[in-house]
Amino acid sequence: MEETAMKNERGVTRHTFDEVIVPTYAPSSFIPVRGSGLSLWDQDGKEYLDLTGGIAVSGLGHAHPALVETLQRQAERLWHVSNYYTNEPVLQLAQALTDATFADRAFFCNSGAEANEAALKLARRWAFDKHGAQKARIISFVNSFHGRTLFTVSVGGQPKYSEGFGPLPAMIDHIPYNDIAAAREAMGDDVCAVIVEPVQGEGGVVPADPDFLKTLRELCNENQALLIFDEIQSGMGRTGHLFAYMAYDVVPDILTSAKALGNGFPIGAMLTTNDIAASFTVGVHGTTYGGNPLAAAVACKVVEIINAPDFLSRVQSAGESLKKMLEGIVADYPSVFSAVRGMGLMRGLAMSNAFPGRAKEVTSAAEKKGLLALLAGPDVIRFVPPLIITADHISQADKLLRQSVDEWLKNGG
């Protein structure tokens, strides 16, 4: 078998991970070696239905033919030139993203954390330039996730990620998500920025209430603070809109994107207006790979495919089908699951109070059946499949998930 031959050739197994990789992760017991669409195959040739999409990254699925072709074509032309020179793919990508959004300008980097790092540094620098050093406070939300750099774990609302890394950047407040009164109370003229995920991803798949985001916009306007939307997970078509802010009709000052922007080729972007971008003058911020031609060429093609009305309306209807499927499971297993949350193809299935902290047992059972799903905290199973998911995939997932839950319950649940 082809996959077995590959394994022998490479001579590595899951055990190798435990010997040579810094143990920040505890990956699953199988090693994916090949993907196509929503399918993944492991070293033994076993096939999995992938509803994780590499954590909301593979929006167009694995090995999308148009992206493979784009990457191959660019690989033969130009890989890298540094920011001493610009390049055609990055200019085309910036044009596409600014044409499609509120933004006038884009800054490119290599990951979500770096996009947020740029956004937070820009907000502080903009406030410093316009109002002075005292306007440095950042408001963020409990359970939010913004990445793993020191600044972004400090701004993120999950203390476990910043524990033991102090001293941390200062003047950062964390207030409850979707709590308008708390936001009003926390706001002041020393605030330079409010950073929020329109749909909290890692924090449990929790969409913002429309009035909450509208209030944040008003509070930022009243206090000359910048509103930053972290759309690293909720963007690039995930909600059935290119970015979730379009569904809410609340326009941020800065927007960050990454994950599905490169469909697996690392790239991050920070989008903003002319006025705010003016604070990032030559030499103030940068990164060697930012706007790399390979990444930019792939992202350009991704934007072209996703930002089409037909594509996005298909995501909306697929999102409704996924929601209906999961609601059917809640209805049939009311003692196990309590609710379905989310927007579009970003959905969370919450465990009931009878099974606290046990979502992982269900995803492990599903994995054995060949169905891959994620967690969003200990109590929520998260589904962020490729946006090209079909009705057939959804009914297959329905069947596999039910079989997995049955087996898990039979084995003592």
Ligand X SMILES: *Cc1c(COP(=O)(O)O)cnc(C)c1O
Which residue bears the tokens 């465990």?
351
Considering only the stretches 22-30, 94-102, 164-172, 230-238, report the one whose residues sit in contact with ligand X under the rule CB under 6 A.
230-238
Q: How far is CA 28 from the centre of its chain?
A: 20
> Binding of ligand X at residue 146 (CB under 6 A)?
yes
Considering only the stretches 99-107, 194-202, 277-285, 380-388, report the one whose residues sit in contact with ligand X under the rule CB under 6 A.
194-202
Three-class HEC string of 186-241: HCCCCEEEEEECCEECCCCCEECCHHHHHHHHHHHHHCCCEEEEECCCCCCCCCCC
Q: Which of 236, 293, 286 is nearest to 117 (CA)?
A: 286
Considering only the stretches 80-88, 143-151, 288-296, 373-381, report the one whose residues sit in contact with ligand X under the rule CB under 6 A.
143-151
Q: Which of 143/363 has CB closer to ligand X?
A: 143
For residue 16, which amino acid is it? T
Separation of alpha carbons 110 and 283, rounded Å: 18
| Active-site residue list | 145, 230, 259
Q: How far is the CB of 409 from ligand X (least distance, A)?
A: 31
Considering only the stretches 25-33, 107-115, 207-215, 354-362, report the one whose residues sit in contact with ligand X under the rule CB under 6 A.
107-115
> Binding of ligand X at residue 382 (CB under 6 A)?
no
> Binding of ligand X at residue 347 (CB under 6 A)?
no
CA angle 284, 289, 291 (to 5 degrees): 85
> Binding of ligand X at residue 59 (CB under 6 A)?
no
Q: Which of 266/370 has CB closer to ligand X?
A: 266
For residue 403, which amino acid is it? Q
In the structure encoding, which two tokens stand for residue 134, read together?
Answer: 């005292």
Q: Which of 136, 132, 139, 131 is nearest to 182 (CA)?
A: 139
Mark out the alpha helices in 26-143 (DSSP H runs): 53-56, 65-77, 88-100, 112-131
CA angle 397, 400, 406 (to 5 degrees): 135
> Binding of ligand X at residue 117 (CB under 6 A)?
no
Q: How far is CA 60 from the centre of its chain?
A: 14
Separation of alpha carbons 405 and 413, rounded Å: 8
> Binding of ligand X at residue 379 (CB under 6 A)?
no
> Binding of ligand X at residue 230 (CB under 6 A)?
yes
Query: For residue 355, with 0-12 CB atoms within 10 Å meaning exposed, 13-18 middle and 19 or more buried, which class applies?
Result: middle
Q: Which of 60/270 has CB closer to ligand X?
A: 270
> Binding of ligand X at residue 145 (CB under 6 A)?
yes
Tell me the residue number closest to ligand X, measured at CB. Answer: 112
Q: Which of 140/215 has CB closer to ligand X?
A: 140
Q: Which of 35, 59, 147, 386 binds ligand X (CB under 6 A)?
A: 147
Q: How far is the CB of 7 from ligand X (least distance, A)?
A: 28
> Binding of ligand X at residue 258 (CB under 6 A)?
yes
Residues that bind ligand X (CB under 6 A): 111-113, 116, 145-147, 197, 201-202, 230, 232-233, 258-259
